[in-house]
Amino acid sequence: MGTFSDRDRTALMVIDVQNNVVADAYLRQETIGNINALVGKARTANIPVVWVQHSDEEMEIGSQGWEIVPELTPEAGETVIQKIYGDAFEATDLEAVLADAGVGKLVVSGAQSDACIRSTAHGAFTRGYDVTLVSDAHTTSDMTEWGAPAPEVAISHINLYWQFQGAPNRTAAVVSTRDVDFRS
């Protein structure tokens, strides 16, 4: 159990699944399909879905590239967090939104695995949340020309090390889409 004694709810986070972010993402369709399945499971179980959108000089708010992909659509009443840093908690009201909803456990999906997914998962964990990374519901693009490992290696590495994160009164886990059960 996370460090929040008064927050026993879980939320699904869908991070940066935006047109420009996932345009050339590794296993794009499969990953978006898995995220869509997670969103359906969360909604069925009455679990909050928190959407996150990144913006910067190259991806301005309101532009077509900034929009969430058409395969995924936030429903009315679902929170959409606008961010400018990798960690979705930085300079946003994400913490207040989660506190108001009684959330102490996060299930994380989205893009980019080796950037905003990693940053937000670590940010949540250090803030006291239990964090589950969905192994087949996050993706990244090929950034090997800048020295990064191939996308499949980056994703595999993050899945590997996340399951071994440790801190007092917190859990880190890695599960597949099919094994996510929001009812338990």
For residue 183, the model assigns a pLDDT of 81
Cα distances (Å, whole numbers) of residue 122 to 8, 60, 76, 80, 148:
20, 26, 29, 20, 19
Q: Report how far residue 180's alpha carbon sits from residue 17's, in angstroms, rounded to the nearest whole number.
A: 19
Strands (E), 43-183: 49-54, 79-83, 103-111, 130-139, 172-175
* Helix, strand, coil percent values for the chain (each to nearest 5): 30, 25, 45
Residues forming a β-bridge with 11 = 106
Rg (CA), the chain: 15
Query: Which pTM value belongs to this model?
Result: 0.97
For residue 1, the model assigns a pLDDT of 60
Fold classification of 9-179 (topology level):
Rossmann fold (3.40.50)
Mean pLDDT value across residues 150-169: 96
Averaged pLDDT score across all residues of the chain: 96
